[in-house]
Amino acid sequence: MKKLFAVSYLLIVNFLVTQGVFSQVKELHQSSVQILARVQKDKILLRWAVTTANAWKKTNKSGFTLEKYVLSRDGKRLPSLEKVWAKKIQAAPIETWQEIVEEDNNAAIIAQALFGESFFIEGGSEGQLADIYNLVNENEQRFSFSLLAADMSFEAAKKAGWGFEDTDVKLHEKYVYKIKPATIENTSEIVKIKGTATIASIKEYEPLPAPIDFQGIFGDKNVILTWEYQLFKTIYTSYNLERSEDGVNFTSLSKEPLVNLNDKPEAPAKRMFYIDSLANNTKTYYYRVNGISPFGEKGLYSTIISGEGKPILPYTPRVFDVQLTKNTNEAIITWEFPEKGETLLEKFQLLIAPVDKGPYVVAVDNISPQQRKLTYSKLQASNYVKIKAIGKDPKQEKTSFSTLIQPLDRIPPAIPTELSGKIDSLGVVHITWKQNIEPDFLGYRVFRSFLKDEEPSQITVSPISQNSFIDTVTVKNLNAEVFYSIVAVDKRHNHSEKSEVLILEKPDVIPPTAPVFSGYKIKEGKIIIEWIPSSEEKATHVLLRENLTEKKELETVFSTNDTIHQYIDTKLKSNNRYRYHIKAIDKSGLTSPPSTPLTIEMIDLTPKEYIKGLDFVVNRETNHIELFWRANKDEIAEYTIYKQLKEKQPSTWRILPAEIKNAIDKEVSPNETYIYHIRATLKKGGYAKVKTIEIKF
C-alpha cells in the first residue's frame, strides 16, 4: 500500500475552488491550529486544522493533544478550569484505511495525501489543468486537497486525526476544549505552532437551518436554480440539490456535494447557482436543497419549488418596407417573419412612438400570425414603428428594430401675433401671445436680444407648447430695453417666420456701486478707517459698526454725502471685536450691494495697575528709607524693585515674594534723590503696570 490511492481528475476539479471552513486556513500567515465545535443533542463534534503546509507536515508526525475542561456547572462559572481529560489524537495507521477508502472518495484523497509516495492528478493530458497543478509544490497539494476532503467528510477527518466526537457530555456543564500539536521527542519545532481553544455546551444546541430564498428560473429545457449563500457560508461547506418528477420522491442531481466555485476573498459570492437540463418543456419538475456542514451533518430542506420549461421564440420580425399612400397621414407597413414560426405565435402587434427611445404604445393589436402587411392611417408628424411577435406563452416576445415614418408636409404654421408682456422690479419677464390652432402644431421657440440691431438668440431648449413664457433678465445693467420674438413650429419641424419684435422696458433699479474699505489703523485707543467711495455721484456713504464681542446689532456710526473717505472711531471698548460695513445710497434710494466687511479687534496692550498706594518713610536718624504699598497677593507671583539715582540708569535692587508689601533701604546717602520702580510679576503670566516713586533723602 505504498502507492495507496490515485486521486481522480474529476474529483480534484470538484474540490479545487471549494470554500470550506478549513480549506481557507492556508491563507493565514502564522502557523497555528484552528478549531471548530458543533453542538448536537447528545454530543459535541470537534474539527481542527493547521494553517500552513509545513505545520501540516509536522503535525502529521506528532499528532495533536486535545484537552477537555469544565468551564461552568449549573450556569455558574468555576473558580478555575476543571480538567477532565487529555488525549493524544493522530491519524489512524495505514492498515486501517482500506474499508473507509472503498466507500468514501474523500477518505481516499486524505489517505493519499498522508501516506502516498507521490501525490498526482490522473485523467489530464498535456496542457490541461491537471498538468498545471502538477507543477505546484507537492507538499502544498497534499495539504490543500486533504483539508478540502476533510471539509466534505467528518468520518475521514476523524480517521486523519483532525476530528473528535465527545459523547461524555452533560446538559448542565459548559466545556473548554484546547487543541495543540503534540510534542515530538528530541525536537522543539512543534512549539512554533500556536494552539487554540473553543467553548461548547449541548445546552446551546440548535438544528441546522434550511437554505433560504430558493428560486428557479425556467427556460427552454433548462432551469437556473439559485439560493442564498453568504448568510450560511460559515455553517455549510457544501449543498445537496435534489430533483423530483412527482413532488414526493427526490433524487440528488450530483454524486458529489455542490460547492461554490465563485467565492473569493476579494469578491465574496452572495448566492449559489446551478443549471439543470430538462428532458422536455411539458413536464413539471420539483426541486429542493439542503446544506452539509463540515461535520457531515445535513440541514433542513428548503421549500420545494416547481416549474416547467418554457420554449423560446426563435424568430424575430423585421420591418423591411414602408410606403406612404396618397391619403394624408397613411402608410403601408410590410414585415418579414418565417412561416415555420407561425405555429408558435399567438399574434402580432404594431407599436408606435413619437421618438425612437419611446415609450411605445400598441397602435394595432391582434394581428394574425399569417399577416405580413398593414395599412395604418393615424400617422403623426414623426412615427417610430415596431412589429412585435407574441408567442403562445405570454413571456415569449420578439420585437423588430424601429423604423421611422414621416408623412410629407412643407407648410409652416402661422406667425405668432398679439405679443404682450412686462418686466417687474425683480427682472421677471412675463410674455403672452395668441395660440396657434394648426392640427399638427408642435410648439414655439422664443428668441431674445438686448440691442435693437443685435441678432436674437434662442432661449428655449426645445419647442414649448403653451402660448406664454417666463424669462428672467438682469435689471441692474446699462441696457434699458429687452427685445423678444416668437417662432411657431409644427410636428414636422416646419418653422414660421419670426413674429413682430416685442420691446419691453426694464425698471430703473440699478443701485450704486459699493464702496470698498482701503485700510485702517489702531492708534491710542482709536480706529482710523479709510475707504474708496462709490462711483455714483452724490451718493450718501453710511458706515455701520457691529460689536461682535457683546453681540450688539449693527448701528450707524457715520454718514456723509461729501467727498470724505475717512472716519476716526473713538467710542470703543478695549479687547472688543468690531465689524464695520459701508454702503452707498443713491438719490433714488437704491442701496449698493454690501461691501466686504472689515473686522478689527481692539486690543489694549497697556499693562493693568495691580500695585496701589505706593508710599515711603524717611528716617534720617537710622539712615534708611522704608517703602510700602498695597496689592492683591492672589494674583501676584512676586515683586521686582528697581533702584536708581537721579540721572543714572536703574538696576534691580530686590525681588520679593507676593506676601511682602514693604522694603527698607539702608544704603542711602544724604542730599541724594532716589527713584524706585516696583513691577509685579503675575501668576497667569505677564507683568503689572510699573509703579514709580521719587524720594529726596
Per-residue model confidence as pLDDT tens digits over 201-225: 999 999 999 999 999 999 888 999 9
Question: Does 114 share its domain with 14?
Answer: yes
Average of per-residue pLDDT across 72-85: 94
Lowest mean pLDDT among 9-18, 474-483, 576-585: 9-18
pLDDT of residue 361: 96
Question: Does 122 share its domain with 142?
Answer: yes
pLDDT band per the 50, 70, 90 thresholds, residue 572: confident
Which of 227, 233, 232, 230 minimizes the C-alpha distance to 213? Answer: 227
164: helix, strand or coil: strand
513: cell is 456701486
Instruction: Identify the domain boundary among 373, 405, 437.
Output: 405
> Does 478 have pLDDT greater than 80?
no
Tell me, yes or no, whether 28 lies in a domain: yes
Question: Does 351 share its domain with 425?
Answer: no
For 231, phi then psi, to 5°, come to: -65, -35
Question: Does 663 share its domain with 682?
Answer: yes
Question: Does 40 share its domain with 182?
Answer: yes
Tell me, yes or no, whether 414 lies in a domain: no
Question: Does 114 share its domain with 200?
Answer: yes
Q: In terms of pLDDT, which residue wins out, 682 or 318?
A: 318
> Does 134 have pLDDT greater than 80?
no
What end-to-end distance do the CA atoms of the chain give, in Å? 124
Q: Express as a percent the part of the chain with pLDDT over 90.
A: 49
pLDDT of residue 120: 57
> Does 21 have pLDDT greater than 70?
no
> Does 503 have pLDDT greater than 90?
yes
pTM value is 0.47
Question: Does 192 share its domain with 294?
Answer: no
- Which residues share a beta bridge with 599? 579
Question: Does 42 share its domain with 183?
Answer: yes
Cβ neighbours of 284 (radius 10 Å): 13
> Does 654 have pLDDT greater than 70?
yes
> Does 65 have pLDDT greater than 70?
yes
Average of per-residue pLDDT across 363-388: 93
Average of per-residue pLDDT across 499-512: 86
Tell me, yes or no, whether 195 lies in a domain: yes
Instruction: Identify the domain boundary among 287, 308, 329.
Output: 308
Question: Does 617 share its domain with 571?
Answer: no
Average of per-residue pLDDT across 357-376: 95
d(CA 643, CA 630): 19
501: cell is 419684435
- Under 8 Å CB-to-CB from 457, ≥6 apart: which residues? 447, 448, 449
Average of per-residue pLDDT across 263-290: 90
Contact 458, 496 (CB under 8 A): no
pLDDT of residue 172: 94
Look up the domain containing 461 and give its range: 420-505
Tell me, yes or no, whether 88 lies in a domain: yes
Average of per-residue pLDDT across 565-574: 87
Question: For the chain, what is the domain count?
Answer: 6
Average of per-residue pLDDT across 500-506: 92
Tell me, yes or no, whether 209 lies in a domain: no
Question: Does 178 share its domain with 30?
Answer: yes
pLDDT of residue 612: 83
pLDDT of residue 260: 84
pLDDT of residue 543: 92
Element spanning 106, H or E? helix 105-115
pLDDT tens digit string along 171-205?
999 999 999 999 765 555 555 889 999 999 999 99
> Does 2 have pLDDT greater than 50?
no
Question: Does 176 share its domain with 41?
Answer: yes
pLDDT of residue 1: 36
Cβ neighbours of 98 (radius 10 Å): 11
pLDDT of residue 252: 94
Average pLDDT over the chain, rounded to whole?
A: 86
Q: Express as a percent the part of the chain with pLDDT over 70.
A: 91
pLDDT of residue 202: 93
pLDDT band per the 50, 70, 90 thresholds, residue 263: confident
Q: In terms of pLDDT, which residue wins out, 64 or 538?
A: 64
Instruction: Identify the domain boundary among 549, 583, 602.
Output: 602
Lowest mean pLDDT among 42-51, 376-385, 583-592: 583-592
Q: Give the helix, strand, coil percentages of the chain, each rounded to 5.
A: 10, 45, 45
pLDDT band per the 50, 70, 90 thresholds, residue 509: confident
Q: What is the dihedral of CA 463, 465, 468, 469, to 10 degrees?
A: -40
Tell me, yes or no, whether 435 lies in a domain: yes
Question: Does 586 share its domain with 442?
Answer: no
CATH number of the domain encompassing residue 486? 2.60.40.10
pLDDT of residue 282: 85
Tell me, yes or no, whether 671 lies in a domain: yes
Tell me, yes or no, whether 413 lies in a domain: no
pLDDT tens digit string along 456-473?
999 998 999 999 999 999
Sheet holding 173-181, edge to edge: 76-89, 64-73, 173-181, 196-200
pLDDT tens digit string along 417-451?
999 999 998 899 999 999 999 878 899 999 999 99
Across 340-465, where does the E strand assignment appear? 345-353, 361-367, 373-376, 383-391, 397-399, 403-405, 420-423, 428-432, 441-449, 457-458
Average of per-residue pLDDT across 238-257: 93
pLDDT of residue 12: 39
